[in-house]
Amino acid sequence: MRSVLLWMFVSYLIGSLPTGYLAARLVKGVDIRTIGSGSIGATNVRRLMGKGWAVFVALVDMFKGALALLLTAHAGVPGSGAFPGGPSLLPALSAFAVVVGHNYPVWLKFRGGKGVATTYGTMFFVWPYQSFAIVLMCGAIWYGIMNVTRYVSLASMLSLAAMPAFFWMLDAPVPFTCVAALLAALSIFRHRANVARLFRGEENAV
């Protein structure tokens, strides 16, 4: 149990690296939390620094999730196993912890991002090789919805909401389906202001 808690803590610390905040602070000298939505994620970074920096931040945030899962897989904790070894609860807990770290980083008084890119990065590696296909399908859903509606928030929420359904349809281990559902719910909760603006017709389109 102590080993599991240790790796969850390590995953949280990896996730808590505030990529968007650091990019805005180091390049522009601005606290990204005072801009737009106040999020440290790629969408808000785009408002301040443009598409190139937004892509960079999104990729690093995805890498954080991937790194946490890959480290956990090789941690030597019983049942964690190098992928594609037997499924266990540890990868699911690590996936949850790294996204919580991104959303609530201790370094920024727990004011972080909305976890979309980090969820994609961590869930990509949670159940190879099936999770590769699932995340790519969700990415296609995100791309289609964003291009039709021009709302990044709506595309993000709906694509993540589809993720647990795909895991369930492919008969994934229960911990992986559950963590996909939890992370989708967490992302929707983090987007609650966007949801309110969508209902009022005031959400900003790309």
- Which region holds residue 81: left if phi is over 0, alpha if psi is between -120 and 50, else beta? left
| Mean per-residue pLDDT over the chain, rounded | 90
Tens digit of each residue's pLDDT (9 = 90 or more) over 95-136: 999 999 999 999 999 999 999 999 999 999 999 889 999 999
What pLDDT is stored for residue 67 in this prediction?
93
Determine the Cα–Cα distance for residues 205 and 185; give it in Å rounded to an integer. 23
| Residue 181: strand, helix, or coil | helix
> Does 91 sit behind a cis peptide bond, omega within 30 degrees of 0 on the bond before it?
no
Tens digit of each residue's pLDDT (9 = 90 or more) over 79-99: 554 444 445 788 899 999 999
pTM of the model: 0.90
Question: Helix/strand/coil (H, E, C) string of 91-137?
Answer: HHHHHHHHHHHHHCCHHHCCCCCCCHHHHHHHHHCCCCCHHHHHHHH
Tens digit of each residue's pLDDT (9 = 90 or more) over 35-71: 888 889 998 999 899 999 999 999 999 999 999 988 8
What pLDDT is stored for residue 85 in this prediction?
44
Judged against a pLDDT cut of 80, whether residue 144 lies above it is answered with yes
What pLDDT is stored for residue 80 in this prediction?
53
